[in-house]
Amino acid sequence: MEYKIGTRGSKLALIQAEYVCNRLREVYPGEQFSIEIIQTRGDICKEKPLDQIGSVGVFAREIEQALLDGRIQIGVHSMKDMPAVPAEGLMFTRVWKREDPRDALILRSASSLDELPEGAVIGTGSKRRSFQLRAMRPDLRIVNVRGNVDTRLRKMEEQKLDGLVLAAAGLHRLGMQNRITRYFEPEEMIPAPAQGALAIEIRENEMELQQMLDCFAHEESDRTVRAERGFLREIGADCHVPVGAICRMDESNNLSLQVMYGDAEGKKLAYDKVCGENPEQMAKEAAAHVRKKLAGRVALVGAGPGDPGLISVKGLEEIRRADCILYDRLISKELLQQAPSYCEMIYVGKENNRHAMKQEEMNRLLIDKSMECRRVVRLKGGDPFVFGRGGEEALALAEAGVPFTVIPGISSCIAAAECAGIPITHRGISDGFHVVTAHNRRDELAEIDFAGMAHGDDTCVFLMGLSKLPEIVTGLVEGGMSVDMPVAVIAQGTTPNQQCVCGTLDTILDLCEREKPVSPAIILVGKVANLQKKLGEGYITGKRYLVTQVDGERNHLTELLEKRGAVVDILWTGEIRYDENAVSPEQLREADWLVFTSRHGVEGFFRCLMAQQIDVRILAGCKIAVVGRQTGKRLAEHGLQPDLIACPQTGEALWKSLSQQAVTGDNLLLCKASNAREQIPASLMERCHIHIANVYENFPTALCVPEIQTYQGILFTCASGVQRFAEALDSGGRELWRRQSCCYSIGPKTTEALRQQGVENVMEAAEASYEALAELL
């Protein structure tokens, strides 16, 4: 059979391939062996440092692809250039006898390192060599030099470099030992892992070819290289960071592994040495020791049950300082937005059988990121250790030597029930509770002691069990539980989309078929579920409300309701259009009072000033009156404080207060909407001069009112919104609204407008503010 051996085209690579080819021809004269030259990316990009042209493997990918394509049968590389794990579908054979693994110094004219003058220039393309060389001689200037050995030697002469650092093995194979000024012993400069060894690569399952190649294996070289490359694999290094490893065997066949590892800038370097007999175990120990010296800290943070406000203070602090966050599927965007702008976000979520990555890969990623970042957060839904596999991640970190901390989170088994109005325990009803996961790692029903659950009074909670609900019901009934036992299925608990389906073991399947709750959901079985009818009424979590608002003012009311867990839909009833010429400098010079009846009036007024370039100091001596705190707050944003705030916060109270404080003959400039009606007292109009500035218009927009019966209530924040809402309804919808809808009003004018429309169920806030309206619910 003909075997093609793939290699790079450099002189050294060809010497290595020819060495392999000749050995095979000697032992297997009946087979044909030939060499095929393959150009790699590393050969093309000769001027850039290795860390700028890609990760480990830039000298191998094209050869590996040729192996996979079947164009060659054997690939020959320098083992130090190879990634820790071969490409999928390929494998390395056992290691042949390696060359000298040390690094060597070649000087252009000096005879020793000590003779080099201060600031001498040394060339190398390796961060590992550069950082270790600086440790010996901090004054040296290190420059990047790449290319084959002949190219580097030529550059040394042309660029007048004082010296080069190269691998001794390559110089030996090229017969250039005489150019070496001195060798660096491993105690001075730890070589690259597997330096001096050849990597012979073939396709997996080529058993006959593997046996042919393994007959050349050298036991000492194979064991020492396994330890060195094991460290490379365990530490997860690439060409962006300096990594070194050298393993040596003594006369008793015991191994000694020396390693070094650092960050990309060389600011932190860690060294370690372990001894033993098992190369793989030694590699793990050395990597763990290095991580203890260099790794950042990982925080396993419980994000809570869904509501971003339920994370712990400590957990939120970790998010806000994180350099990297690995987060689950159910983590809210609001929490992720708390992270710094530079924080790396990695999604590692799981949903049914669709996993972003396997748990083992996730553990590995956590370990690797700890070596790149100072603060890594593993953000997990609920509590990290309650059916969250946080224990497995903690064990992996501990074994890898990575410092970590655990920040508990509120589990949905408690929080979802509470937010639905169900206490998980209650004196006289349930003195305890059982919490189990409903499925196993094969996505089958877990082994659950249904009989033990069925014969007690404790509350039973099943997590991740919505798809197993029929089997859970059957198991409990067959275990002896009454079919009349109350059951609550709480989906998307503590979030605005919370849904609670209550029934009994006899009815819950039909109810869920009708209501169709979606995961994540908890299943709660026990007498405490009966309390939901009484306690659930006091919650707005998961209930849907319709809020009428003017375009451009996704206001504080919506935020207040959403923070309480409500689902808020907004119906835009108007669009604000400003008139930037509504106020003149003459009016402002004559004004004794500025009067604002809305924050839009404030905004429109200052737009007039900006558009006409009117200096705000024109208001010197003018007093300002506002209808309420929110209007006063908007005024304060422009650097002005009101002299009068109406109490209560109504137009009527505003004009009453002005009647008491304005002096006869005062000029009052009212900034308002052109389509707003103000009930100014006649007595005030008789004593004072009222000037109107229509700084904006609340312009009606086309409305498409959703099905109002789907809402727990409708909130109105102005009288115009009531009028436009009514006009948008058909006769049937208008009658339903008047008779059945629960309407919440921000103040007297809005309430009056609702009454005029014939709405029967109207509740008014204690004062005209968003806070009071939210509190009313």
* 19 residue type, one letter: Y
Strands 486-491 and 521-525: antiparallel
Q: Report CA-CA distances (Å) from 96 to 45, 223, 348, 577.
A: 30, 11, 41, 82
Residue ranges of the alpha helices (H) in 28-102? 41-44, 61-69
Q: Mapping DSSP to helix (H, G, I), strand (E, B) and coil, where does residue 143 land?
A: strand
Following CA atoms 649, 651, 654, 658 in sequence, which dihedral angle do they give, to the nearest 10 degrees?
180
Output DSSP code: residue 631.
Answer: H
Report the distance separating Cα 153 and Cα 176, nearest Å: 11
Report the distance separating Cα 462 and Cα 473, nearest Å: 11
For 431-477, what is the HEC assignment? CCEEEEECECCCCCECCCCHHHHHCCCCEEEEECCHHHHHHHHHHHH
Residue 307 near residue 420, CB atoms below 8 Å? no
Report the distance separating Cα 51 and Cα 72, nearest Å: 28
Given 81, 103, 307, 328, the catalytic residue: 328
Residue 648: cis peptide before it, omega within 30 degrees of 0 = yes
Report the distance separating Cα 237 and Cα 85, nearest Å: 11
Given 82, 156, 362, 464, the catalytic residue: 464
Residue 220 near residue 98, CB atoms below 8 Å? no
Q: Report CA-CA distances (Å) from 451 to 465, 479, 480, 677.
A: 18, 4, 6, 71
350 is catalytic: yes
In the chain the first and final C-alpha atoms are separated, in Å, by: 84
Of 174, 170, 199, nearest to 74 (Cα)?
Answer: 199
Given 4, 292, 350, 633, the catalytic residue: 350
Phi-psi sector, 250: left (phi>0), alpha (psi -120 to 50), beta: beta
Q: Which two tokens stand for residue 708?
A: 């109002």
Q: Which two tokens stand for residue 262?
A: 């650092």
284 is catalytic: no
362 is catalytic: no
Of 3, 27, 2, 25, nearest to 201 (Cα)?
Answer: 3
Strands 90-92 and 198-203: antiparallel
Residue ranges of the alpha helices (H) in 160-253? 168-173, 207-214, 219-235
Burial (CB count within 10 angstroms: exposed 0-12, middle 13-18, buried 19+), residue 496: buried
Phi and psi at residue 576, in whole multiples of 5°?
-85, 125
Please tell me the number of Cα atoms within 13 Å of 215 on its side-chain side.
10
Give the list of residues 6+ apart from residue 191 with CB closer than 8 angstroms, or none.
Answer: 80, 101, 102, 103, 167, 244, 245, 246
Residue 366 near residue 396, CB atoms below 8 Å? yes
Active site residues: 328, 350, 464
